[in-house]
Amino acid sequence: MISFHPVTLAEIPEVLDFVLQARAELFPTLSAAGMPTDLAQFEAVYLQGDGEFLIAREEGRMVAAIGYLPYDHRFPQLDYQGRKAVEVVRLFVTPACRRCGLAGQLYRALEALAKADGVDVMYLHTHPFLPGAIGFWVRQGFEVVDVEADPVWQTTHMERQL
């Protein structure tokens, strides 16, 4: 039985270990760049701020995570002025739990929190080199709104209106 819940203060160290390990496996060059700001300030961003962070556990073991934080307007081609926009971040699922619908269930739980919080648009970006990522997000109702021309990352910007 898999259960979902918002991260508690006591779980932060375990969540950081889980997320940083998953991130290092997917993006080895980024892991050398240090801890991202949202993770370094996890309590302020996700527990005390306007962010949300959910985890999934199976028999007490963390098997998946996802969060959102207020969109920071760092991509000039995206205009969310006047709308409450959040960025979906840190979706990681352990290999043993992939391809069984867990990521979709976890995203829908996060989306329900966003709707309850009055969010207008959910934004995310992903990359074609992540197997199945773009297709997964399209199945969740996201649309591709921009693909950057960078030959390495090909950052794919996606959004879902709520």
Tens digits of residue pLDDT in 2-49: 999 999 999 999 999 999 998 888 777 766 567 899 999 999 999 999
Q: Give the residue from 35, 140, 29, 160 showing the smallest Cα distance to 90.
A: 35
* Per-residue pLDDT reduced to its tens digit, 91-147: 999 988 888 899 999 999 999 999 999 999 999 999 988 878 999 999 999 999 999
The reported pLDDT for the residue numbered 135 is 94
> What is the pTM for the complete model shown?
0.92
Specify the pLDDT at position 30. 67
Q: Which domain holds residue 112?
A: 2-161
Q: CA–CA distance from 58 to each of 2, 43, 68 (Å)?
A: 5, 24, 22
Domain count of the fold of the chain: 1
CATH number at residue 51: 3.40.630.30
Stated as kind and residue range, the H or E segment containing 135 is helix 133-139
Is residue 91 within 8 A of residue 106, CB to CB? The reply is: yes
- The pLDDT of residue 24 is 87
Q: Where are the alpha helices (DSSP H) in 63-124?
A: 102-116
Question: Mean pLDDT across the stretch 44-68?
Answer: 96
Residue 15 to residue 20: CA distance in whole angstroms? 8
Distance CA 127, CA 26 (A): 11
CB–CB of 144/128 below 8 Å? no
DSSP string, 90-101: EEEE-GGGTTSS
- Residue 150 confidence class, pLDDT cut points 50, 70, 90: confident
